[in-house]
Amino acid sequence: MNRSLSFELFRYAAILLALALTLIPILWMASMAFKPIGEWSATGADLTWWPKEPTLSNFRFIFGESDSSLIVALDRSAAKPILSSLLSATFGTLIAMIAGTAAAYGLSRFGSGQNLPLALTQLRLFPPMAVMIPVMIMWAFLNLTDTWWGLALVYGIVTLPFAFWLMKTFFDDMPREIEEAGLVEGCSRWRVFTRITLPMMRPPLASAALFVFILNWSDYLIALLLTTREWVTVPVYMASLSSSMTGQLYGAKAALGLIAAVPPVIMGIAIQRHLVRGLTFGALKQ
Protein backbone atom coordinates (compact mmCIF):
# COMPACT_ATOMS: atom_id res chain seq x y z
CA MET A 1 0.00 0.00 0.00
CA ASN A 2 2.80 2.41 0.92
CA ARG A 3 4.61 1.55 -2.27
CA SER A 4 1.48 2.25 -4.29
CA LEU A 5 0.97 5.56 -2.49
CA SER A 6 4.58 6.56 -3.11
CA PHE A 7 4.21 5.77 -6.80
CA GLU A 8 1.04 7.88 -6.99
CA LEU A 9 2.75 10.80 -5.24
CA PHE A 10 5.74 10.55 -7.56
CA ARG A 11 3.46 10.48 -10.59
CA TYR A 12 1.51 13.55 -9.51
CA ALA A 13 4.73 15.37 -8.68
CA ALA A 14 6.08 14.61 -12.15
CA ILE A 15 2.83 15.83 -13.72
CA LEU A 16 2.94 19.06 -11.72
CA LEU A 17 6.58 19.61 -12.67
CA ALA A 18 5.84 19.08 -16.36
CA LEU A 19 2.81 21.37 -16.11
CA ALA A 20 4.90 24.08 -14.44
CA LEU A 21 7.63 23.87 -17.07
CA THR A 22 4.95 24.23 -19.74
CA LEU A 23 2.86 27.00 -18.20
CA ILE A 24 5.54 29.22 -16.63
CA PRO A 25 6.81 30.60 -19.99
CA ILE A 26 3.21 31.24 -21.09
CA LEU A 27 2.36 33.01 -17.82
CA TRP A 28 5.54 35.06 -18.03
CA MET A 29 4.70 36.12 -21.61
CA ALA A 30 1.16 37.05 -20.59
CA SER A 31 2.47 39.07 -17.66
CA MET A 32 5.09 40.81 -19.79
CA ALA A 33 2.48 41.80 -22.39
CA PHE A 34 0.65 43.98 -19.85
CA LYS A 35 3.70 45.60 -18.25
CA PRO A 36 4.76 49.18 -19.03
CA ILE A 37 8.28 49.70 -20.31
CA GLY A 38 9.62 50.52 -16.87
CA GLU A 39 8.63 47.10 -15.59
CA TRP A 40 9.53 44.80 -18.47
CA SER A 41 12.95 46.44 -18.84
CA ALA A 42 13.69 46.12 -15.11
CA THR A 43 16.40 43.81 -13.80
CA GLY A 44 17.33 42.21 -10.51
CA ALA A 45 15.13 42.96 -7.51
CA ASP A 46 12.93 45.33 -9.53
CA LEU A 47 11.79 42.49 -11.80
CA THR A 48 8.34 41.24 -10.80
CA TRP A 49 6.10 38.37 -11.91
CA TRP A 50 2.91 40.41 -12.17
CA PRO A 51 2.54 43.92 -13.57
CA LYS A 52 2.24 46.57 -10.89
CA GLU A 53 0.47 48.94 -13.27
CA PRO A 54 -1.21 46.85 -16.00
CA THR A 55 -1.44 48.61 -19.35
CA LEU A 56 -2.50 47.97 -22.94
CA SER A 57 0.22 50.21 -24.33
CA ASN A 58 2.15 47.24 -25.74
CA PHE A 59 -0.85 46.12 -27.79
CA ARG A 60 -1.51 49.66 -29.01
CA PHE A 61 2.16 50.03 -29.87
CA ILE A 62 2.40 46.99 -32.16
CA PHE A 63 -0.65 48.22 -34.07
CA GLY A 64 1.08 51.49 -34.89
CA GLU A 65 -0.20 53.84 -32.20
CA SER A 66 2.42 56.26 -30.94
CA ASP A 67 3.30 55.87 -27.29
CA SER A 68 5.90 58.05 -25.63
CA SER A 69 6.62 55.35 -23.08
CA LEU A 70 7.91 53.09 -25.86
CA ILE A 71 10.24 55.81 -27.23
CA VAL A 72 9.11 55.88 -30.87
CA ALA A 73 6.17 54.64 -32.90
CA LEU A 74 6.64 51.77 -35.32
CA ASP A 75 6.75 52.58 -39.02
CA ARG A 76 4.25 49.77 -39.67
CA SER A 77 1.73 47.93 -37.53
CA ALA A 78 1.38 44.21 -36.92
CA ALA A 79 -1.97 44.04 -38.73
CA LYS A 80 -0.54 43.14 -42.15
CA PRO A 81 1.97 40.57 -40.82
CA ILE A 82 -0.91 38.88 -38.97
CA LEU A 83 -2.96 38.88 -42.18
CA SER A 84 0.03 37.53 -44.11
CA SER A 85 0.51 34.69 -41.63
CA LEU A 86 -3.19 33.83 -41.70
CA LEU A 87 -3.38 33.74 -45.49
CA SER A 88 -0.11 31.91 -46.13
CA ALA A 89 -0.55 29.37 -43.30
CA THR A 90 -4.20 28.66 -44.13
CA PHE A 91 -3.76 28.23 -47.87
CA GLY A 92 -0.49 26.36 -47.36
CA THR A 93 -2.32 23.96 -45.06
CA LEU A 94 -5.08 23.50 -47.65
CA ILE A 95 -2.54 22.74 -50.38
CA ALA A 96 -0.66 20.25 -48.21
CA MET A 97 -3.81 18.52 -46.95
CA ILE A 98 -5.51 18.21 -50.36
CA ALA A 99 -2.40 16.94 -52.12
CA GLY A 100 -1.22 14.85 -49.16
CA THR A 101 -4.62 13.21 -48.62
CA ALA A 102 -4.98 12.34 -52.29
CA ALA A 103 -1.45 10.94 -52.49
CA ALA A 104 -1.83 9.01 -49.22
CA TYR A 105 -5.14 7.44 -50.29
CA GLY A 106 -3.80 6.47 -53.69
CA LEU A 107 -0.66 4.92 -52.28
CA SER A 108 -2.51 3.19 -49.45
CA ARG A 109 -5.10 1.61 -51.75
CA PHE A 110 -3.18 1.29 -55.03
CA GLY A 111 0.45 1.21 -53.88
CA SER A 112 2.89 1.18 -56.78
CA GLY A 113 6.42 0.81 -55.52
CA GLN A 114 8.33 0.82 -52.26
CA ASN A 115 10.47 3.88 -53.11
CA LEU A 116 7.63 6.33 -53.69
CA PRO A 117 6.94 7.10 -49.99
CA LEU A 118 10.64 7.74 -49.43
CA ALA A 119 10.76 9.99 -52.47
CA LEU A 120 7.95 12.12 -51.04
CA THR A 121 9.86 12.64 -47.78
CA GLN A 122 13.16 13.68 -49.35
CA LEU A 123 12.28 17.35 -49.10
CA ARG A 124 12.16 17.02 -45.32
CA LEU A 125 15.52 15.23 -45.23
CA PHE A 126 17.51 18.17 -46.61
CA PRO A 127 18.58 21.12 -44.43
CA PRO A 128 16.10 23.97 -45.00
CA MET A 129 18.82 26.35 -46.15
CA ALA A 130 20.04 23.93 -48.82
CA VAL A 131 16.50 23.68 -50.21
CA MET A 132 15.60 27.36 -49.93
CA ILE A 133 18.50 28.76 -51.97
CA PRO A 134 17.26 27.32 -55.30
CA VAL A 135 13.67 28.10 -54.28
CA MET A 136 14.61 31.75 -53.74
CA ILE A 137 16.14 31.95 -57.20
CA MET A 138 13.14 30.31 -58.84
CA TRP A 139 10.61 32.41 -56.91
CA ALA A 140 12.48 35.61 -57.84
CA PHE A 141 12.35 34.59 -61.52
CA LEU A 142 8.58 33.95 -61.23
CA ASN A 143 7.98 37.21 -59.28
CA LEU A 144 6.58 35.27 -56.32
CA THR A 145 8.87 36.72 -53.66
CA ASP A 146 7.30 38.95 -51.03
CA THR A 147 3.79 37.64 -51.81
CA TRP A 148 1.53 35.68 -49.52
CA TRP A 149 0.49 33.27 -52.29
CA GLY A 150 4.11 32.49 -53.13
CA LEU A 151 4.75 31.82 -49.45
CA ALA A 152 1.61 29.67 -49.21
CA LEU A 153 2.74 27.57 -52.16
CA VAL A 154 6.11 26.89 -50.52
CA TYR A 155 4.42 26.06 -47.23
CA GLY A 156 2.14 23.60 -49.01
CA ILE A 157 5.09 21.91 -50.73
CA VAL A 158 7.30 21.79 -47.62
CA THR A 159 4.59 20.36 -45.33
CA LEU A 160 3.23 17.98 -47.98
CA PRO A 161 5.44 15.03 -46.84
CA PHE A 162 4.28 15.51 -43.24
CA ALA A 163 0.61 15.54 -44.27
CA PHE A 164 1.19 12.56 -46.57
CA TRP A 165 2.74 10.35 -43.91
CA LEU A 166 0.11 11.20 -41.32
CA MET A 167 -2.78 10.52 -43.68
CA LYS A 168 -1.22 7.36 -45.10
CA THR A 169 -0.99 5.92 -41.60
CA PHE A 170 -4.66 6.70 -41.04
CA PHE A 171 -5.74 5.23 -44.38
CA ASP A 172 -3.73 2.07 -43.71
CA ASP A 173 -5.57 1.64 -40.39
CA MET A 174 -9.01 2.07 -41.96
CA PRO A 175 -10.72 -1.26 -42.82
CA ARG A 176 -10.99 -1.71 -46.58
CA GLU A 177 -14.10 -3.86 -46.23
CA ILE A 178 -16.22 -0.73 -45.79
CA GLU A 179 -15.08 0.64 -49.16
CA GLU A 180 -15.45 -2.74 -50.81
CA ALA A 181 -19.05 -2.91 -49.60
CA GLY A 182 -19.74 0.42 -51.29
CA LEU A 183 -18.15 -0.80 -54.54
CA VAL A 184 -20.29 -3.94 -54.45
CA GLU A 185 -23.41 -1.75 -54.10
CA GLY A 186 -22.49 0.01 -57.35
CA CYS A 187 -20.69 3.13 -56.13
CA SER A 188 -17.79 4.42 -58.18
CA ARG A 189 -14.36 4.70 -56.61
CA TRP A 190 -14.70 8.51 -56.45
CA ARG A 191 -18.12 8.25 -54.80
CA VAL A 192 -16.77 5.78 -52.27
CA PHE A 193 -13.90 8.14 -51.51
CA THR A 194 -16.06 11.27 -51.11
CA ARG A 195 -19.16 9.74 -49.49
CA ILE A 196 -17.71 6.96 -47.34
CA THR A 197 -13.98 7.34 -46.78
CA LEU A 198 -13.62 11.08 -46.20
CA PRO A 199 -16.54 11.34 -43.72
CA MET A 200 -14.98 8.53 -41.70
CA MET A 201 -11.60 10.30 -41.82
CA ARG A 202 -12.78 13.59 -40.35
CA PRO A 203 -10.96 13.13 -37.01
CA PRO A 204 -7.61 12.20 -38.64
CA LEU A 205 -8.03 15.02 -41.18
CA ALA A 206 -8.65 17.52 -38.39
CA SER A 207 -5.63 16.32 -36.41
CA ALA A 208 -3.30 16.39 -39.41
CA ALA A 209 -4.56 19.82 -40.48
CA LEU A 210 -3.89 21.23 -37.02
CA PHE A 211 -0.29 19.98 -36.99
CA VAL A 212 0.36 21.23 -40.52
CA PHE A 213 -1.16 24.63 -39.71
CA ILE A 214 1.05 24.98 -36.61
CA LEU A 215 4.15 24.18 -38.70
CA ASN A 216 3.21 26.82 -41.26
CA TRP A 217 2.07 29.40 -38.72
CA SER A 218 5.28 29.20 -36.68
CA ASP A 219 7.73 29.16 -39.60
CA TYR A 220 10.49 31.75 -39.51
CA LEU A 221 13.25 30.73 -41.93
CA ILE A 222 11.17 30.37 -45.11
CA ALA A 223 9.28 33.61 -44.48
CA LEU A 224 12.54 35.43 -43.72
CA LEU A 225 14.05 34.36 -47.05
CA LEU A 226 10.99 34.79 -49.27
CA THR A 227 9.55 38.04 -47.89
CA THR A 228 11.15 41.46 -47.62
CA ARG A 229 8.64 44.00 -46.37
CA GLU A 230 5.11 43.90 -47.81
CA TRP A 231 4.09 40.39 -46.72
CA VAL A 232 6.35 39.50 -43.81
CA THR A 233 4.79 37.07 -41.34
CA VAL A 234 4.36 37.35 -37.59
CA PRO A 235 7.64 35.56 -36.62
CA VAL A 236 9.68 37.77 -38.99
CA TYR A 237 7.92 40.90 -37.80
CA MET A 238 8.42 39.91 -34.17
CA ALA A 239 12.17 39.54 -34.71
CA SER A 240 12.30 43.14 -35.95
CA LEU A 241 10.80 44.61 -32.77
CA SER A 242 13.79 46.37 -31.27
CA SER A 243 14.90 49.90 -30.48
CA SER A 244 18.31 51.53 -30.58
CA MET A 245 17.60 53.07 -27.18
CA THR A 246 15.87 50.26 -25.29
CA GLY A 247 17.12 47.17 -27.15
CA GLN A 248 14.64 44.33 -27.51
CA LEU A 249 11.03 45.42 -27.06
CA TYR A 250 10.07 42.50 -24.83
CA GLY A 251 6.69 43.92 -23.88
CA ALA A 252 5.69 44.43 -27.51
CA LYS A 253 6.97 40.98 -28.43
CA ALA A 254 5.00 39.40 -25.58
CA ALA A 255 1.84 41.19 -26.71
CA LEU A 256 2.33 40.00 -30.27
CA GLY A 257 3.09 36.50 -28.96
CA LEU A 258 -0.26 36.39 -27.19
CA ILE A 259 -2.03 37.46 -30.37
CA ALA A 260 -0.07 34.92 -32.42
CA ALA A 261 -1.19 32.13 -30.08
CA VAL A 262 -4.88 32.83 -30.75
CA PRO A 263 -5.37 31.20 -34.22
CA PRO A 264 -3.88 27.78 -33.30
CA VAL A 265 -5.81 27.79 -30.02
CA ILE A 266 -9.07 28.65 -31.79
CA MET A 267 -8.43 25.94 -34.37
CA GLY A 268 -7.66 23.42 -31.64
CA ILE A 269 -10.84 24.28 -29.76
CA ALA A 270 -12.90 24.08 -32.96
CA ILE A 271 -11.72 20.54 -33.71
CA GLN A 272 -11.28 19.28 -30.15
CA ARG A 273 -14.08 16.72 -30.48
CA HIS A 274 -12.20 15.21 -33.42
CA LEU A 275 -8.68 15.67 -32.05
CA VAL A 276 -8.42 12.85 -29.51
CA ARG A 277 -10.17 10.39 -31.80
CA GLY A 278 -7.93 11.41 -34.68
CA LEU A 279 -4.74 11.00 -32.65
CA THR A 280 -5.81 7.51 -31.52
CA PHE A 281 -7.28 6.41 -34.86
CA GLY A 282 -6.43 2.74 -35.42
CA ALA A 283 -4.79 2.38 -32.01
CA LEU A 284 -7.01 -0.57 -31.09
CA LYS A 285 -6.69 -2.32 -34.42
CA GLN A 286 -5.75 -5.96 -33.99
SS3 state at 242: strand
- Burial grade of 165 (CB within 10 A; 0-12, 13-18, 19 or more): middle
Sign of CA dihedral 123, 127, 132, 133: negative
Region 219-226: what's the mean pLDDT? 90
Region 99-110: what's the mean pLDDT? 86
Q: What is the pLDDT of residue 286?
A: 41
Q: What is the pLDDT of residue 283?
A: 46
Ordered by where they begin, the domains of the chain are 5-63 (no CATH), 80-284 (1.10.3720.10)
Region 224-232: what's the mean pLDDT? 88
Name the residue with higher pLDDT: 17 or 3.
Answer: 17
For the chain, the straight-line distance linking the first and the last C-alpha, in angstroms and rounded, comes to 35
Q: What is the pLDDT of residue 245?
A: 54
Q: How confident is the model at residue 234 (pLDDT cuts 50, 70, 90)?
A: very high
Is residue 75 scored above 80 in pLDDT?
Answer: no
